Amino acid sequence: MKRAATLSALVCLLAVTAAAPAAPETAPRPGRHHGTKATLLDSIPKRGVLKVCTTGDYAPFTKRDTADGTYTGVDIDMARDLAKSLDAKPKFVVTTWANLTKDVASRRCDIGVGGVSITLPRARQVYFSEPTREDGKTPIVRCADKDRFGTGALADIDKPGTTVIVNPGGTNEQFARAHIKKATIKLHPENTTIFQEIIDGRADVMMTDASETLYQSRIHPELCALHPEKPFTFSEKAYATPRGDDEFQEYVDQFVHLATHDGTYAKYEAEWMK
């Protein structure tokens, strides 16, 4: 009797289970490879053009020739390589430091390059690739004034009578406004001529990335970089891509990873820094 009752209960359970509606499949967890959106990784090869936003005013990374509009620089060479890897040609789009990440975020271009420093405010607007190099803010002054600024510490710079010159809209201005309280801050809109302002005595100091101070002191012997090997800050440079396009961002990551480990990036940089 007990066995018959057990079998009867089992039959009822199976019948109820069979009649119940099938449970919906578990929705796939959100991830980077959802595959539901169009990606630049596919559209760039189809159109044959990689749109590259760059300021053109920040050698050695990006430099625009005002006479013919051509671009050169470490990141310009890298952008050309990236375009080639996607069976495309680069189309360089003029932008400014104040608008670079906005232009990438709005898809005015596919990627932003040219010595772009990773910052948290920028990272809220765009994705950043794997870093290309480390950097940080350091002073550059007239070599004749090196003794005037002692060790090059902020306390030696931030004094009445000192004019600190900056280009507007980027991390140089942000750094100066955060740390300069006693010296005069002078805005100069043309990054391509800003170092001549120091040479000609219309400004005393600029604090910019160590990589730029090394390059500028090489092409302008009148200028000396102060402690570029020990900058005030730590930062990394990378390439900006539109938020939401994970496939393209991961491809750019891989491209940068290979170029920074197989000697390609170092070769391009050496051509400007030697």
3-state helix, strand, coil in the chain (%, to 5): 40, 25, 35
Give whole-number Cα distances, 181 to 154, 161, 172, 178, 267, in Å.
Answer: 10, 12, 15, 8, 40
Has residue 128 been placed in a domain?
yes
Distance (Å, whole) CA 51 – CA 48: 10
Answer yes or no: are the C-beta atoms of 79 and 50 closer than 8 Å: yes
Distance (Å, whole) CA 17 – CA 23: 11
Which pTM value belongs to this model? 0.79
Same domain, 69 and 187: no
Answer yes or no: are the C-beta atoms of 248 and 40 closer than 8 Å: yes
- Cis amide prior to 60 (ω within 30 degrees): yes
Same domain, 84 and 215: no
Q: Inform me whether the pLDDT recorded for 20 exceeds 90.
A: no
- Span 248-252, mean pLDDT? 98
Give me the number of domains the chain comprises.
2
Same domain, 78 and 145: no
Has residue 266 been placed in a domain?
yes
Has residue 52 been placed in a domain?
yes
Same domain, 166 and 210: yes
The pairing of strands 223-225 and 163-166 is unpaired
| Per-residue pLDDT tens over the stretch 180-230 | 999 999 999 988 899 999 999 999 999 999 999 999 999 999 999 999 999
What are the DSSP E strand ranges found in 97-136? 111-117, 126-128, 133-135
Answer yes or no: are the C-beta atoms of 110 and 71 closer than 8 Å: no
- Span 35-53, mean pLDDT? 92
Has residue 249 been placed in a domain?
yes
Burial class from Cβ neighbours inside 10 Å (0-12, 13-18, 19+) for residue 161 reads exposed
The pairing of strands 184-187 and 235-242 is unpaired
- Give percent above pLDDT 70 in the chain: 87
Same domain, 206 and 252: no
Same domain, 53 and 128: yes
92: its two tokens: 């360089």
Has residue 123 been placed in a domain?
yes
Same domain, 127 and 237: yes
Answer yes or no: are the C-beta atoms of 65 and 82 closer than 8 Å: no
250: its two tokens: 């991961």
Range of the domain at 220: 136-231
Same domain, 147 and 212: yes
Q: What is the pLDDT of residue 36?
A: 52
Answer yes or no: are the C-beta atoms of 163 and 203 closer than 8 Å: yes
Q: Which CATH number does the domain housing residue 199 bear?
A: 3.40.190.10
Reported confidence tier of residue 37, pLDDT bands at 50, 70, 90: confident
Domain boundary among 214, 231, 248: 231
Same domain, 62 and 120: yes
